[in-house]
């Protein structure tokens, strides 16, 4: 009886009594094909699209576990997993596919007669894919409750819901929908984002960059510093509450600092009466505006 061929990896299925003297060579080739399927890597030139190969009893690029699609694409292209010539259906197999092409066009990884998964024109990422014998499907489309502890990342883009018990992000968070917490607080480096942190002072105090986003409760004078807040600090603000029961406090400028009063536009030192509240906003290099109640 003649040798047969396996449906998916096209291994040579040796029959009893066949291949005298070559049985070992055929077995070695089968083992190498299995190695391709488990951990093999191949770059596939996809500049004009590509059709993967599944040669009978031989190493072939379509049998690799990891594929990197390469080439400069000048239009939308397809990379095709072909149908078996006998069954008329594509093999079932898992892939890790990296869209390493250049050019702002889509790349679709699909079966010959079915559907597939498409990288957008700007997506040069990696996907876990599998053929189910009809179409190419994406291996992971929903994390559900997969994440139960901490995530540490430099950038996180969320297009739907994410549920985690702890997340540490060292750079940007971009969310297409809401970021919602049903328990606990939203906290940044200053504190809980809905609460203005309080700093208590009982002696004359000079403002610092670390005071940004806080309110200072004091019964003593405040100094607006020079060469502490630069142009890059524009937008940072500090609030001052005079906690003295009866006396005013002074808000004075260090030499060279500019402090415009919103009410008149004048640059001058200010007085904050008992129980008054003022907010100082940095608008430029050593330049501030001040506004508030019981301020003169």
Task: Annotate 163-188 with three-state secondary structure.
Answer: CCCEEEEEEEEEECCCCCCCCCCCEC
Question: Average pLDDT in the 1-27 region?
Answer: 89
Alpha-carbon distance of 133 to 93, in angstroms, equals 8
Q: How many Cα atoms are found within 13 Å in the side-chain-facing hemisphere of 268?
A: 10
DSSP reduced 3-state for 288:
strand
Strand order in the sheet with 77-81: 50-51, 77-81, 107-111, 116-119
Phi/psi for 13 (5° steps) reads -95, 105
Select from 127, 77, 120, 140 the least CA-distant residue to 98.
Answer: 127
Span between the terminal Cα atoms of the chain, in Å: 105
Q: Name the residue with higher pLDDT: 230 or 148.
A: 230
Residue 178: pLDDT above 90?
A: no
**Long-range contacts of the stretch 140-147 (C-beta < 8 A, 24+):** none
What's the pLDDT score for residue 194?
74
Q: Could you tell me which CATH number the domain at 198-295 has? A: 2.60.120
- Given a contact cutoff of 8 angstroms between Cβ atoms, the answer to whether 291 and 266 are in contact is no
- Residue 162: pLDDT band by 50, 70, 90 thresholds? low
**Based on C-alpha coordinates, what's the Rg of the chain?**
34
* Chain centroid, CA 225 distance in Å: 38
Range name among 47-51, 76-80, 84-88, 127-131 with the lowest pLDDT average = 84-88
Handedness of CA 41, 42, 47, 49 (dihedral sign): negative
Question: Average pLDDT in the 279-285 region?
Answer: 96
- Residue 181: pLDDT band by 50, 70, 90 thresholds? confident
- Residue 148: pLDDT band by 50, 70, 90 thresholds? low
∠ CA 255-258-262, rounded to 5°: 145
Report residue 95 as tokens: 């892939």
Residues 6+ apart with CB under 8 A from 70: 43, 44, 45, 46, 47, 100, 101
Residue 147: pLDDT above 90?
A: no
Question: Average pLDDT in the 215-224 region?
Answer: 97
- Given a contact cutoff of 8 angstroms between Cβ atoms, the answer to whether 54 and 77 are in contact is no
Alpha-carbon distance of 264 to 77, in angstroms, equals 65
Residue 33: pLDDT above 80?
A: yes
Q: Domain segments of the chain: what residues?
A: 4-138, 142-180, 198-295
Strands 287-295 and 258-261: parallel
- Given a contact cutoff of 8 angstroms between Cβ atoms, the answer to whether 133 and 88 are in contact is no
Alpha-carbon distance of 141 to 102, in angstroms, equals 25
Residue 77: pLDDT above 70?
A: yes
What's the pLDDT score for residue 196?
87
Report residue 122 as tokens: 């700007």
Report residue 68 as tokens: 């990197």
């Amino acid at each position: 009886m003649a040798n047969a061929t396996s449906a998916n990896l096209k291994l040579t299925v040796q029959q009893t009594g066949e291949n005298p003297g070559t049985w070992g060579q055929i077995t070695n080739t089968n083992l190498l094909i299995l190695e391709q399927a488990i951990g093999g890597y191949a770059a596939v030139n996809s500049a004009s699209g590509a059709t993967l190969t599944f040669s009978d009893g031989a190493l072939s690029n379509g049998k690799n576990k990891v594929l990197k699609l390469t080439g400069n694409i000048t239009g939308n292209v397809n990379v095709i997993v072909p149908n078996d010539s006998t069954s008329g259906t594509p093999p079932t197999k898992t892939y890790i596919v990296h869209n390493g092409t250049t050019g702002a066009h889509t790349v679709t990884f699909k079966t010959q007669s079915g559907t597939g998964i498409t990288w957008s024109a700007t997506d040069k990422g990696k996907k876990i894919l599998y053929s189910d014998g009809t179409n190419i499907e994406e291996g992971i489309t929903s994390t559900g409750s997969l994440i139960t502890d901490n995530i540490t990342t430099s950038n996180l883009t969320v297009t739907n819901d994410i549920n985690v018990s702890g997340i540490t992000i060292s750079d940007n968070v971009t969310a297409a929908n809401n970021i919602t917490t049903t328990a606990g607080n939203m906290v940044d480096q200053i504190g809980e984002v809905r609460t203005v942190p309080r700093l208590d002072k009982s002696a004359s105090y000079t403002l610092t960059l670390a005071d940004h986003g806080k309110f200072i409760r004091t019964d003593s004078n405040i100094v607006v510093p020079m060469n502490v807040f630069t142009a890059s600090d524009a937008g940072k603000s500090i609030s001052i509450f005079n906690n003295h029961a009866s006396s005013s406090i002074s808000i004075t400028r260090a030499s060279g600092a500019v402090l415009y009063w919103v009410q008149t536009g004048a640059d001058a030192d200010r007085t904050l009466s008992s129980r008054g509240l003022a907010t100082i906003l940095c608008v430029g290099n050593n330049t501030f505006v001040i506004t508030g109640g019981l301020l003169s």
